[in-house]
Structure 1
C-alpha cells in the first residue's frame, strides 16, 4: 500500500478491532449502518413527517438512496480507464468511500428536517452565543468524530480519513477556517457565501464546527497537495451530486403520491413560460417578483437567477430544452393521472424515478480545474439544467405552500420550547443530580472541548459580533448551550414532541419508550 493509500485509510486511534469487513472503507460503512444515530433517521422528517404511512421518504430512506446513487456514480467513473489518471491525481474515487459517506451525510439532521436546522441554528447563536451555531452537515461530522460512542475508544466512530473527507460537502467552518476563508473569494464556492441580509454571520453552509477542526485537518491531509483548501474531494463531490439527484427526483415522487404535487399548476407554469419566452424576457425583475404567482413568472426569475449565480454553465437553449423535458416527463407523464395506489400508478412512479436516475447518473463527468461553484465531478450541461428545473418545481409547488408553512411554524415553536425547557432543567441546581445522563455527558464533553480551544486558540470562540467567552463561567455557558443543541438534535420527530409533553406536564405517563433518559 502506497503512502497516499495509507493516509486515506488512516484512523485517529489506529484501531480497527471488531470490524467484520477486511476493507477499512467497507468497515466504515458497517460502522455507520449500525450506529443508533443512523437508525434514528427513520423517525426524522425529510420534508414533511411521514407519520408511518410508508408513502414518504424520511432521512433514513433518503440516505440509503444517496448511498445507492453515489456508489453507482463512483463505480461508473472508476471503471472508465480514460478517467483513471485524473481520479488518481485528484486523490481517488473509491465506491466504498462514497457509499459510507452517503449513509453518514445526514446523521446530524435534527427533528423536522431543514426547519429544525434553522431553528436550532438561531437558538444556538442568539440564545447560547455559540460562534458557529448549528449546521446539519457540521453536526454529522461531530457525530462520527465525537458524540457517537460506537468506535473503539467510545469517541465517535473512528472512521478513515477518506470517508470523513468525503462527508465534507463544505470543507470550512462558519467563520474562521481555512484562512483566507472561502466566503471572501471573488466567486465563493456553493454554500460559502453569507445568507442574504445577514452580513457578518459567516457562511450559510459549512461542514465543520471549531470543535472538530483537528479532525478536518487530519481527514484532509492526504489531499493537501492535490486540492485547494476549500475544494471537495472527488468522493465528496460524488456524494454531493448524488444528494442533489435524490432530492430532485424522490421528493417530487413523494408529493405526487400524496396528491400535493398536482398537474394543473405545474402544467400552467411550465407551459406559460415555454409559450411566452420572448415576452417574459422583456419584463423587468421588479414586475416579475411582484407578480411571481402568475404562471411562468417564477420560472423566468429562476432563469435570471441562474445567469447571475452560475454563468459558468447556464445556457438559455439548454434551459428551454430542460423545461420541455420536465414538462413532457413530469407533467404529461407522471402527473397527468392522480396517484391511486394501483399497479399502473406504481409503475408510472417507478418509470419516472428510474428513468431520471439513470439519465442523470450516466451524464456525469470529471474535470481537473472546475469553477469555484462546482466540484470536480459534475452533471453534464443538459442534466444540470434539468436538475435546476426539477428542484424549482419542488420548491415552487411544495415548499412554498402555506399549509406546509402552517405545519412548520408549529414545529418551530415545539423545538424552541423544548430547548428552553432543557436549558432551565440544566441550570436548576436543585435538579442537578437528576439530569438525563446523556445530557450530563454532553456538557462534560463540551466543557473539555471549549476549555482546550480557549487555551490554544481563543479566536475560534469569538462569534460574529466579536465577543469571546469570559473565563470559566463563559466556557460553561457555551458548553451547556452546545450540549442542549447536541441533545435535541439527536432526537427523532416523535421523541422531541413526547419529551416536550413530559417537560410541560402534558403527559400523565412517567415512563415512555419514545425516549431514553
Structure 2
C-alpha cells in the first residue's frame, strides 16, 4: 500500500489542527488517525448499548451495534485488501478515487454512530416526530445522523465540533451521497432508474428520498468531501470506499444476525426448511401464480420466497437470474438449514464449532465473490458481488427478515419501544420550553440547542432556500427558525442515548422512579 502525503486532497481536513491536537493520533498515517478517532469516540462506545435487532440483554449472545460495527470493519478491511492484492483491480480503483484499507475500516466503524435507541425502530419514530412535530423537512435518518456526529456534534475530538476527519473518510461514510431533498442537483430521486434508497417511502409520498446521508445543516461538509469524486464518478454514486463499507455491512448482516437467532433458539429449523423446500419443489407452479395469490404469504410456505424472486426482477433486473436464485436457495438450504439449523444450539463445543465453521465458510465465499465494476448499474456500487454470491446474500437476508423481523412477539416488543421514544421527546420538549426550569436543562441538551440555533440562523441568512418545512413551505421568521433548531437539538439528544439510558431517563423525567439520575450526559 502506497504512503499518503499529508497535503493530498484525500487527506485534507476541514479545520486546521495544532500538532498535539489529536489525543489518539499515535501514528503518522492520516487515515489510521481517522480510524482511531472514531474508535475513541464516546458515540462509538455507546453502540454497545444500542439495539441491533433486539435490545442488548446483557447475556452476550446477541450482537449490538458495537459488535456489528466491529465485524463490518473486519469485512471491509478484508475486501479492501483483496482489491489491493489484484493489480488490475488496484489500478482501476485508483482511477476511480482510491481504496485505502484504513479509510474503509474507519467508515465501517463509523457507519452506525447515528443509530438511535432501539435501532431501526427508533429511527422510524424519530423521523416521524422530526417531520410532523417540528417541521424538519429532512426529518431523521441514521446515516445522516452518523455524518452529523463525525462533522458536527461530536465535541470530544481534536476540534470543537466533529472529529475533523480527512476528506476521503468523510466521503466514505456517505453511504447514500445525497440529502433528502436538496442535494445534488438534479436529485437522484428524479432519475429514470433510481439508485438504491433514493426513492420516496411508499407511505410518505412527496417527502424525498427514503435513505440519505446528510441533513441540510451538513451540506457544506458533503460538498467538500465529495469534491474528491468530481470527474471520477457520478454525483449520486458512492465513492469506492463507501461502496466497500456498504457491501461489508450487507455481508455482516446476512451472516451474523442469522447466527444470533440460531443461538437463542428463535430461528427454527422446521419453518425455514419448509419455506425453502416448498419453493424448490414447486418452483414452476409458484411462478405461474397471479400476484394477488402471493398476498397470503405467511400461511402458505414457498410464497414469501416467490415474492422475493419477483421483487428482485422488478428492482434489480441488472443481476436477477432465476437459475442463480434457485442455486442460492439450494445452497442456503444445504448449508444453513440442513447443516447448521438441523441441530439446536446448546452451547456445546460441537455447536460452537459448527457456528464458527458456518461463519468462516460463508465469509470466505462472499468476500471471495467481490469484484470491481468500472461501470456499475445504477443500483449498485463499483465494489459489488458476482451474481452467485449476490443472490446468496439476498436469500440469507430473506431468512432473517421472514423468520425473525416479521415475528409477532418482536412487533409487540417494538410497539412499546416506539411509545417510549415518543414520550421521551414530549417530556424533553416540555422541559426545554419551561422557562422556570430552562436553567436546569441537561448541559448536553443545552449545548445542542445552542449549536442548532447557530446552524439554522446561519442557513436562514446564507441559504434560505434550504429552510423549508415538512410540507414544502418556506420557513421564515426568527421563531420558526428557532423551532427547527429546537427540534433538531431534541432529536440529536435522544438519538445519542443507549436503549437503557432512554428508558431510565423517561422513568426519571415522568416520575415513574424515585431513584436519582446518576449518569452524566456525556453524549
SS at match of 1:52: coil
5+ long unaligned stretches in structure 1:
none
Aligned equivalents of 2:61 and 2:352: distance in 1? 11
Deviation of 1:341 (Å): 0.6
Matches within 5 A, 1:75-94: 75-94=81-100
- Select 2:116's aligned residue among 69, 87, 110: 110
Partner-residue secondary structure (3-state), 1:132: coil
Contact between 2:370 and 2:384, CA under 8 Å: does it hold in 1? yes
Q: CA deviation at 1:131?
A: 1.3
Match of 1:127 among 130, 133, 138: 133
Shift, 1:66, TM fit: 0.3
C-alpha separation in 2, matches of 1:511 and 1:138: 30
Matched, 1:405 2:407: no
In structure 2, the partner of 1:375 is: 381
Aligned length: 517
- Pairing 1:51-70 to 2, within 5 Å after superposition: 51-70=57-76
Contact 1:202–1:464 (Cα < 8 Å) also in 2: no
Instruction: Give the aligned partner of residue 449 of structure 2.
Output: 443
Q: Is the 8 A contact 2:49 2:64 kept in 1?
A: yes
1:95 is aligned to 101
Shift of the 443–514 alpha-carbon distance from structure 1 to 2, 3 Å rule, reads: closer
Q: Determine the C-alpha separation between the residues in 1 that align with 2:397 and 2:223.
A: 33
Aligned residues of 1:494 and 1:514 also touching (Cα < 8 A): no
Cα displacement (A) at 1:516: 5.8
In 1, Cα distance between the equivalents of 2:139 and 2:443?
24
CA–CA distance in structure 2, aligned partners of residues 227 and 197 of structure 1: 32
For the residue of structure 2 that corresponds to 1:429, the secondary structure is coil
Q: Is the 8 A contact 2:131 2:470 kept in 1?
A: no
Where does structure 1 differ by over 4 angstroms across 4 or more consecutive aligned residues? 1-5, 514-517
Q: Does 1:21 align with 2:27?
A: yes
Deviations 1:110-141 (A, max 9, x none): 00010000000000000111110000000000
Could you tell me whether the CA contact under 8 Å between 1:495 and 1:515 is conserved in 2? no
Post-superposition offset of 1:149: 1.2
Structure-2 separation of matches of 1:130 and 1:511: 30
Question: What is the alpha-carbon distance in structure 2 between the residues aligned to residue 455 and residue 391 of structure 1?
Answer: 46
Coordinate RMSD, CA, aligned: 1.4
Determine if the alignment matches structure 1 residue 224 to structure 2 residue 226: no
1:393-444 C-alpha deviation (Å, 9 max, x unpaired): 0000000000000000000000000000000000001111111111111011
Structure 1 pair 264–515 and aligned structure 2 pair: CA distance change class (3 A):
farther
- Please state how far the C-alpha of 1:469 moved relative to its aligned partner: 2.3
User: Residues of 2 paired with 1:390 and 1:204: CA distance?
Assistant: 23
Q: How do 1:328-367 and structure 2 match up within 5 A?
A: 328-367=334-373
Match of 1:293 in 2: 299
Distance in structure 1 (CA, Å) of the matches to 2:147 and 2:379: 22
| Residue 477 (structure 1) aligns with | 483
**Distance in 2 separating the partners of 1:291 and 1:440:** 49
Deviation at 1:463, TM superposition (A): 3.2
Alignment partner of 1:136 out of 134, 142, 145: 142
Task: Tell me, yes or no, if the aligned pair for 1:499 and 1:515 is still in contact at 8 Å.
Answer: no
| CA-CA distance at 1:198 after TM superposition | 1.9
Counterpart CA distance in 2 for 1:158 and 1:4 is 14
Aligned to 2:207: 201
Instruction: Give the conservation status (yes or no) of the 8 Å contact 1:165–1:236.
Output: yes
- Find the counterpart in structure 1 of residue 181 from structure 2: 175
Distance in 1, matches of 2:66 and 2:306, equals: 35
Report the Cα distance in structure 2 between the residues aligned to 1:450 and 1:321, rounded to whole angstroms.
53
Could you tell me whether the CA contact under 8 Å between 2:121 and 2:414 is conserved in 1?
yes
Q: Which runs of 5+ in 2 are unaligned?
A: none
Check conservation: 2:49, 2:500, Cα contact below 8 A: yes
Tell me how far 1:324 sits from its aligned partner.
0.1
Is the contact between residue 39 and residue 60 of structure 1 (CA under 8 Å) also seen in structure 2? Answer: yes
How far apart in 1 are the matches of 2:507 and 2:520? 11
Partner of residue 12, structure 1: 14
Q: Which residue of 2 aligns with 1:384?
A: 390
TM-score of the superposed pair, with normalisation by structure 2: 0.97
Question: Residue 430 of structure 1 aligns to a residue in which SS?
Answer: coil
Cα distance in 1, alignment partners of residues 245 and 4 from structure 2 = 25
What is the match of residue 55 of structure 2?
Answer: 49
* 1:206-227: CA deviation from partner (whole Å, max 9, x where unpaired): 0011000010011111111101
